[in-house]
Amino acid sequence: MTREPLTWDDLPEFPDDDEIGEVVLGKKKRAKFRDLAGLREIDGMPKVDPFWGGRPKRLVRKFIEHDQQAAAAPPSREQRGTWHETKTTRTA
């Protein structure tokens, strides 16, 4: 008997990395989440709370959603820089 995949709504408030990994990466890749999350902690991924034994679900979801929106957004003019020069007209 196969169970339904986990969703954010199924998770407790402080899920472990395997539970979050299943929601984010799917059942087969869930174990990869621990290492990936550890790499992203420097960028703001919430750490495992030592008291509760998991990451705060709401903050993890917010981090991932913000990260994906930033990755999907085209760069702003300031981020792109100016790639063209303004032509000037010479007069004699």
- CA angle 41–13–43, rounded 5-degree value: 15
- What DSSP string runs through 30-51? GGGHHHHHHHHGGGTPPPPBTT
Q: What is the pLDDT of residue 76?
A: 63
Q: What is the pLDDT of residue 68?
A: 87
Averaged pLDDT for residues 34-41 = 96
| Position with higher pLDDT, 88 vs 30 | 30
What residue numbers bound the domain in which 27 lies?
8-67
Q: What is the pLDDT of residue 78?
A: 62
Averaged pLDDT for residues 52-80 = 84
Answer whether residue 78 is part of any domain.
no
Answer whether residue 92 is part of any domain.
no
Other CB atoms within 10 A of residue 48 CB: 17
Answer whether residue 25 is part of any domain.
yes
Averaged pLDDT for residues 63-74 = 83
Answer whether residue 47 is part of any domain.
yes
Structural domains in the chain (count): 1
Banded pLDDT at 62 (limits 50, 70, 90):
very high
- pLDDT of residue 54 exceeding 70, the answer is yes
**What residue has token string 């981090």?**
63
Tell how many helices (H) and how many strands (E) occur in the chain: 4, 0
pTM for this entry: 0.73
- pLDDT of residue 60 exceeding 90, the answer is yes
